[in-house]
A and B are shown apart, each in its own frame.
Chain A
Amino acid sequence: MRIATGGLIDREKPIRFTFDGKPVTGFAGDTVASALLANDILLMGRSFKYHRPRGPVTAGSDEPNALVTVGEGAEARPNTRATCQEIYDGLTVTSQNRWPSLRFDAMAVNDLLSPFLAAGFYYKTFMWPRAFWEKLYEPIIRRAAGLGALSGQPDPDRSEKAFAHCDLLVIGAGPAGLAAALTAAEAGADVILATEDTRPGGRLLSETVTLGDQTGREWADRMAARLAAMGNVRVMARTTVTGVYDSGTYGALERVAEHVMPGEAPPTCFWRLVARQAILATGALERPIAFPMNDRPGILSAAATRTYLNRYAVSPGARVAVFGNNDDAHRTATDLAAAGVTVAALIDTREDATSDGAWPFYPGAEVIETQGRLRLEGLTIRKPGGTLRIGADALAVAGGWNPALHLTCHMNGRPVWQEDIAAFVPTANAIPGLTPCGAALGTFSTAGCLEDGRRAAEAALDALGHSPKPIDLPDAEDTPYSPPATWAVTAPGRAWLDLQNDVTTKDVHLAARENFRSVEHMKRYTTQGMATDQGKGSNVTALAILADATGRTIPETGTTTFRPPYVPVPISSMGAGHAGKGFAPERFTTSHEASTARAAPMIEAGLWYRPSYFPVHGEKTWRESCDREVRMVRECVGVSDVSTLGKIDIQGPGAAEFLDLVYTGTFSTLKEGRIRYGLMLREDGHVMDDGTTARLGPQHYLMTTTTAAAGPVMAHLEFVAQGLRPDLDVKLTSVTDHWAQFAVAGPRARDLLNSLLEEEVTDDAVPFMSCWLATVSGVPVRLYRISFSGERGYEIAVPARYGAALWRLLVAQAESLGGGAYGIEALNVLRIEKGFITHAEIHGRTTAYDIGMQAMMSKTKDFIGKAAAARPGLTESTRERLVGLRPRDPANMPLPGGFLFTKGETPSRANAQGYVTSACWSPTLETHLALGFLASGPERMGETLRFTDHLRNRDFEVTVTDPVAFDQDGGRMRG
Chain B
Amino acid sequence: MADLIARPATHGLLPIEIGSVVLEDAQPEAITWIAPYNRKKSAVTRTLGGFPGPGQVVEVKAGRALSVGPGQALILGAPAACDDAAVVDQSDGWTVVALDGAAARDVLARLTPLDLRDSALSENATARTLLGHMTASITRTGPYRYELMVFRSMTQTLIHELTRAMKHVAARARLSGPG
Using a CB–CB cutoff of 8 Å, the interface residues on chain A facing chain B are 29, 86, 160-165, 190, 198-199, 235, 237-238, 256-257, 259-260, 263-266, 272, 274, 577, 581-582, 584-590, 607-608, 649, 651-653, 722, 729, 731-739, 756, 776-779, 798-806, 809
Contact = CB atoms under 8 A, between A and B. Distances in A.
Given A162-B109, A577-B161, A582-B132, A798 B4 contact: yes
A735 B1 contact: no
Nearest to B74: A733
6 contacts: A260-B175, A733-B35, A736-B153, A779-B4, A800-B92, A801-B92
A215 B137 CA distance: 51
Given A190-B119, A198-B179, 6 more contacts: A199-B179, A577-B161, A799-B92, A800-B9, A800-B152, A804-B7
B58 interface: no
B46 interface: no
B2 A163 contact: no
A581 B158 CA distance: 11
Interface stretch (B48-56, B138-146, B163-171): B163-171
B134 interface: yes
Given A266-B168, A779-B4, A805-B4, A649 B174 contact: no
Contacts of B91: 738, 799, 801
Contacts of A737: 92-94, 151-153
B73 to A, nearest CB: 11
B4 A809 contact: yes
A256 B38 CA distance: 52
A164 B110 CA distance: 9
Contact of B4 (A190, A235, A577, A806): A806
B154 interface: yes
The 5 closest A-B pairs by CB, nearest first: A738-B93, A731-B86, A651-B86, A731-B35, A800-B92
A777 B1 contact: yes
Contacts of A582: 132, 160-161, 164
Nearest to A160: B168
B93 A731 contact: no
B113 interface: yes
A722 B70 contact: yes
Contacts of A198: 178-179
B132 A585 contact: yes
B154 A802 contact: no
A649 B35 CA distance: 12
B4 A237 contact: no
Nearest to B37: A729
Nearest to B134: A585
B130 to A, nearest CB: 10
A732 B1 CA distance: 36
Contacts of A779: 4
A589 B7 CA distance: 13
A688 to B, nearest CB: 21
Given A235-B178, A738-B91, A738-B93, A256 B172 contact: yes
B20 interface: no
Most chain A CB atoms below 10 A, which of B6, B155, B174: B6
B171 A266 contact: yes
B157 A586 contact: yes
A585 B133 contact: yes
Contacts of B47: none
B153 A589 contact: yes
Contact of A801 (B7, B85, B120, B165): B7
Interface string B115-135: 111011000000000001110
Contacts of B94: 737
B93 A237 contact: no
B175 A265 contact: yes
Contacts of A590: 7
Contacts of A259: 179
B133 to A, nearest CB: 5
A274 B115 contact: yes
Contact of B90 (A274, A577, A731, A738): A738
Contacts, number: 166
A238 B109 contact: no
A735 B157 CA distance: 19
A264 B165 CA distance: 12
Contacts of A199: 178-179
A163 B116 CA distance: 9
A265 B119 contact: no
Nearest to A197: B179
Contacts of B93: 734-738, 800
Contacts of B35: 651, 731, 733
A802 B5 CA distance: 6
A779 B160 CA distance: 31
A768 B152 CA distance: 31
Given A165-B120, A738-B93, A801-B8, A581 B179 contact: no
Contact of A165 (B117, B170, B171, B175): B117
Contacts of B117: 165, 190
Interface in B18-52: 33, 35, 37-38
Given A272-B113, A581-B160, A652 B37 contact: yes
Contact of B179 (A29, A272, A577, A584): A29
Given A165-B116, A737-B152, A756 B70 contact: no
Contacts of A732: 86
Contacts of A798: 4
Contacts of A577: 132, 161, 164
A266 B165 CA distance: 10
A265 B174 contact: yes
A315 to B, nearest CB: 23
B156 A586 contact: yes
Nearest to A266: B168
Contact of A160 (B3, B86, B165): B165
B59 interface: no
A325 to B, nearest CB: 35
Nearest to A799: B92
Nearest to B110: A162
Given A160-B110, A235-B178, A731 B37 contact: yes
A733 B178 contact: no
Given A585-B132, A779-B4, A800-B9, A163 B112 contact: yes
A734 B150 CA distance: 13
A590 B5 CA distance: 12
B72 interface: yes
Nearest to A161: B110
Contact of A777 (B2, B72, B109, B157): B2
A264 B171 contact: yes
A218 to B, nearest CB: 17
B94 to A, nearest CB: 7
B6 A802 contact: yes
B95 to A, nearest CB: 9
B120 to A, nearest CB: 7
B140 to A, nearest CB: 15
B158 to A, nearest CB: 8
B17 interface: no
Contacts of A653: 37
B174 to A, nearest CB: 7
A235 B177 CA distance: 11
A240 to B, nearest CB: 14
Contacts of A266: 168, 171-172
B152 to A, nearest CB: 4
Most chain A CB atoms below 10 A, which of B1, B4, B161: B4
A12 to B, nearest CB: 15
Nearest to B40: A729
Contacts of B88: 649, 651, 733, 735, 738
Contacts of B157: 581, 585-587
Contacts of B119: 190
Contacts of A162: 109-110
Contacts of A235: 178
Given A587-B151, A733-B88, A777-B1, A805 B109 contact: no
A675 B179 CA distance: 68
